[in-house]
Amino acid sequence: MRNHPLDGISREQLTITDVRVLPLSYVDPGQDLWRCSGYQVWKTDGAITQIFTDQGLIGIGEGSPYENPAAIKQYTESVIRPLLLGKNPFDVEFLVNRGNDSRHNRAPWAGIDTACWDLIGKATGKPVYELLATDGAPVRDISIYASAGVEHEWYDHGAEALIAEALRYQEQGYDAFKFRPGTDWKSAGMKLDRYVPILEKLRAAVGPDFRLMHEGLGMSLGSLEAIITDFAPVLEGLGFYWFEEAFGGTSLDHLELFPRLKEAMPSVQISGGERFLDRFEAQQWLDAGVLDIVQTDCNVTGLTENWYIARAAHLRGIKSIPHNWHGGGSTMVNAHFVAAIANREYCELNQTNNPLKEGIFKEPLTVNKGVMRLPDKPGYGVELIDDVEKVFPYVPGSYLRPNLRLQTK
């Protein structure tokens, strides 16, 4: 039995000589990639970490670009880089726990952690999923679920758009679709009695066997109590597969609500935890037994920390299905994570228009009929295209803007 992700992995002599971050952006020509709640997304970002070594090996990884790629670059190159020069990436757990105690700085450290694992794979000549596998054999083919549901707007033809989107993914070979509750309910005049018939039409359109997953409603119903009493029974009746971040996040203030939520929808799985930072934060939720699925994201936790979380979840009969809503760097890491763990089921894949998902790699990771086949090459098995930072030049600023269409309604 392995108690540490590096157990059984031969240590190679490798010295870090430089650390860099490549901030990337893709700006939609219409500056309207997707919409959710009261916001409109006009661009998407990436933050690729590169670690260089004395053997000529280069490791790549990514920390969550939600944290601002320019800030990730500044912190990584000015604070982290001096700490890593001359060190061995095989000491990944020791290296990434030096000062790794701030939510603001988790993304830079996750980029370092994930790039170290690429180096470990390349130095040992093995794919990362093979190195991390424990409690079962790794796989190369992983199931992908379609994650989107951010194209529909309730002040327009939202119901038709949502159903058409689900049918499109079904036709492409996906067997599961997760969607968000749409643009701001108050501005659109959306109410539960209007929303439920839309969900009923959606279920009728895709049939009983196509898996539907719903993101949390937050305060759209006016109270968290209404989610339990009014909305959860709807999901139960329509056979939804899971309900994610039901109360708008996994706050300890809401912990006591989860058993009641489960009573209201006993056959619907409860998922959450995409914002968990480490095994210690996740532990109290795993011990409470209120989650059926933990969704920790490697570009927040890093691979090392997420290995511990997945093992703890597995030993409690809880699935690990990581949050994965960014570009190719994040997908590269989370896909290897899913391929390695014993309690795998799916990897999420953002379906919005985002060339950073595939365009940054010479041989991109692609999906065929809901399945992604991972390379059998060392490390993550992918290479960045030449001059990637020139192909996708970084554009500063928040990716969120107020949804101007709401202001005209």
Is the model's pLDDT at 112 over the cut of 90?
yes
CA pseudo-torsion sign 241, 244, 246, 250: positive
The DSSP bridge partners found for residue 43 are: 27
The CA distance from 65 to 78, in Å, is 18
Letter for the amino acid at 375? P
Whole-angstrom CA distances from 86 to 24, 90, 120, 368, 371 are 27, 12, 16, 42, 40
Burial label for 10, CB within 10 Å (0-12, 13-18, 19+), is exposed
pLDDT of residue 35: 81
Rg (CA), the chain: 21
CB 16 within 8 A of CB 87: yes
pLDDT at residue 218 in the model:
84
Range of the domain at 32: 16-127+397-407
- Are 279 and 348 in a shared domain? yes
* 199 is a domain residue: yes
Q: What is the CATH number of the domain that holds 76?
A: 3.30.390.10
**Which stretches within 316-401 are classed as H helix?**
328-340, 388-391
Closest CA to 295 of 325, 264, 257, 256: 325
Q: Do the domain assignments include residue 10?
A: no
Q: What is the mean pLDDT of the chain?
A: 93
Q: Does residue 6 form part of some domain?
A: no
Residues 115 and 182 in one domain: no
On whether both 112 and 150 belong to a single domain, the answer is no
- For residue 9, being part of any structural domain is answered with no
- Tens of pLDDT along 373-405? 999 999 999 999 999 999 999 999 999 888 776
**Side chain identity at residue 2, one-letter code:** R
pLDDT score for 408: 53
Q: Taking 80 as the threshold, does the pLDDT of residue 52 lie above it?
A: yes
Q: Do 181 and 195 sit in the same domain of this protein?
A: yes
Same domain, 90 and 140: no
Classified as helix, coil or strand, 342 is coil
Structure-block tokens of residue 72:
């990730």
Q: Could you tell me the end-to-end alpha-carbon distance of the chain, in angstroms, rounded to an integer?
A: 60
On whether both 279 and 376 belong to a single domain, the answer is yes
Do 134 and 97 lie in a common domain? no
Q: Which residues contact 262 (CB under 8 A, 6 or more apart)?
A: 270, 290
Q: What's the rounded mean pLDDT across residues 263-285?
A: 95
Total tally of structural domains belonging to the chain: 2
% of the chain at pLDDT higher than 90:
80
The answer on 351 and 318 residing in a single domain is yes
Quick one: average pLDDT of 326-332?
Answer: 95
Q: How far is CA 6 from CA 90, 111, 157, in A?
A: 8, 18, 52
Whether the per-residue pLDDT at 99 is higher than 60: the answer is no
Return the closest-CA partner of residue 326 out of 356, 290, 281: 356
pLDDT in the model for residue 155:
66
Rounded Cα distance between 259 and 289, Å, is 9
Q: Is residue 2 situated within a structural domain?
A: no
Residues 206 and 286 in one domain: yes
Structure tokens at 117: 């694992």
- The predicted pLDDT at position 151 comes to 72
The pTM assigned to this predicted structure is 0.96
Please, which pLDDT band fits residue 31 given cuts at 50, 70 and 90?
Answer: confident
- pLDDT tens track for 158-202: 899 999 999 999 999 999 999 998 877 887 788 999 999 999 999
Is the pLDDT score of 217 beyond 60?
yes
Going by C-alpha positions, the residue among 24, 116, 20 that lies closest to residue 69 is: 24
pLDDT exceeds cutoff 70 at 409: no
Q: Which tens digits make up the pLDDT trace of 128-163?
A: 999 999 999 999 999 999 999 887 777 677 899 999
Q: Within a domain: residue 390?
A: no
pLDDT bin (cut points 50, 70, 90) of residue 103 is low
pLDDT tens digits along 349-375: 999 999 999 999 999 999 999 999 999
What pLDDT does 319 receive? 98
The upper half-sphere exposure of residue 270, i.e. CA atoms within 13 Å in the direction of its Cβ, equals 25
The residues that bridge with 354 in the sheet, in sequence order, are none
Would residue 391 count as lying in a domain? no
pLDDT at position 407 is 57
Q: Which residues contact 46 (CB under 8 A, 6 or more apart)?
A: 22, 23, 24, 25, 62, 65, 69, 326, 327, 328, 329, 356, 360, 392
pLDDT number for residue 219:
85
Indicate the SS3 state at residue 110.
Answer: helix
Q: Which residue has the tokens 């359109």?
A: 205
Both structure tokens of 355:
């060339």
**Is residue 223 situated within a structural domain?**
yes
Instruction: Extract the tokens encoding 370.
Output: 């809901």
- 99 and 166 in a single domain? The answer is no
* Contact (CB, 8 A) for 366 and 335: no
Do 89 and 183 reside in the same domain of the chain?
no
Query: Are 201 and 96 in a shared domain?
Result: no
Q: What is the rounded distance in angstroms from the CA atom of residue 171 to the CA atom of residue 187? A: 33
Structure tokens that stand for 408 in this block? 């005209």
d(C-alpha 241, C-alpha 210), whole Å = 9
Can you give the CATH number for the domain in which 355 is found? 3.20.20.120
